[in-house]
Amino acid sequence: MSHSLWRVAGCVLAVASLAGCSTVSQKWSQWRGTSSTPAAAQQPGVLQPSTETGRWQGVYSYEADSGRFLDCKTGQTVPVLMEGDNALLENAYMASRNGPNTAMLASVDGRIVERPSADPVMAQQGKKELALRVERFVSLSSATSCAGDKAKNLGVPVPVAAAAAAGQGGAKPAAAEQATVSLDNTYWKLLTLNGKAVPRLDKEAHIILQQQGRLVGSGGCNRLMGSWKQDGQQLQFGQVAGTRMACKGAASSTESAMLKMLGQVASWRIHGDQLELLDAKGKLLAQLQAVALR
């Protein structure tokens, strides 16, 4: 009888020991950043590497030749990888910021990835860090913080469907994002032309597609007038002309490029509050953002 009790006690100790080892192993794996725990089971409110593209909102800043992103939902700050649609985000920021080290509220489609530490010493020790890979630049706001619950809620990464092929071989836009504005009767502010951010001008470059096929707007210097015709996802602009005010510098080059672009447009698509104009081959020509008229 005594021998049997000792055997039972030994089994209990063995099981407890195994459980303890499992716990220690799990803690060690988490500290090393190699935990096999599913993302859904990990601690909420903390950034985790992901293979799925999601919508992120946060405060973007640029320091020491690199971008940094403060996620509105978790309050964590991560570096932005210099790949994907990062160049478009960076160019838009450079063209819009008020000065060095300016922080601006940005929305992007992307994912959190794990990479070797940027610190050479830490990298040699096998340490890793999290970073944001921007798959698609969405918008940039003059707001400098994640003020309000609405902004924080928008920071939750929401998985989107598989992206359609991009127009310029860069990031792949999220095809499943639902449009929040209509093509016509919307003030469309020009953000990018041929993959480059539009510089800040005294007069904002924009178009408004009015009913009865009439186009009005500004090229950044002159007022624009013309016509437009839509058939499903197909879109064509008729002869677009402007007033004859003399333009110089960035305003002149932007207006010329904008007029040339409008003549090449063959189709359109809207993601959220952003309009994308494409040519007959599906190449992305320009991105415009809906602006609320006051």
- Model confidence pLDDT, tens digit, residues 6-22: 554 454 444 344 444 44
The answer to whether residues 132 and 198 belong to one domain is no
| Residue at which a domain ends, from 153, 173, 204 | 153
Which carries the bigger pLDDT value, residue 167 or residue 277? 277
Provide CB contacts within 8 A for 95, sequence distance 6+.
Answer: 197, 198, 199, 200
The per-residue pLDDT for range 120-165, each reduced to its tens digit, is 888 888 899 999 999 888 887 778 888 653 333 333 232 222 222 3
| Residue at which a domain ends, from 131, 153, 175 | 153
Q: What is the CATH number of the domain that holds 149?
A: 2.40.50.540
**How many domains is the chain partitioned into structurally?**
2
The answer to whether residues 191 and 145 belong to one domain is no
The answer to whether residues 193 and 109 belong to one domain is no
**What torsion do the CA atoms of 26, 31, 33, 39 make, to the nearest 10 degrees?**
60
Examine residue 134 and state whether it is found in any structural domain, yes or no: yes
How large is the average pLDDT for residues 22-46? 42
Examine residue 169 and state whether it is found in any structural domain, yes or no: no
The per-residue pLDDT for range 232-249, each reduced to its tens digit, is 999 999 988 877 788 888
Examine residue 196 and state whether it is found in any structural domain, yes or no: yes
Examine residue 146 and state whether it is found in any structural domain, yes or no: yes
Q: What is the CATH number of the domain that holds 191?
A: 2.40.128.270
Which carries the bigger pLDDT value, residue 72 or residue 24? 72
For 248, the domain range is 187-290
Examine residue 1 and state whether it is found in any structural domain, yes or no: no
Query: What pLDDT does residue 247 have?
Result: 82
| Residue at which a domain ends, from 111, 137, 153 | 153
Which carries the bigger pLDDT value, residue 4 or residue 267? 267
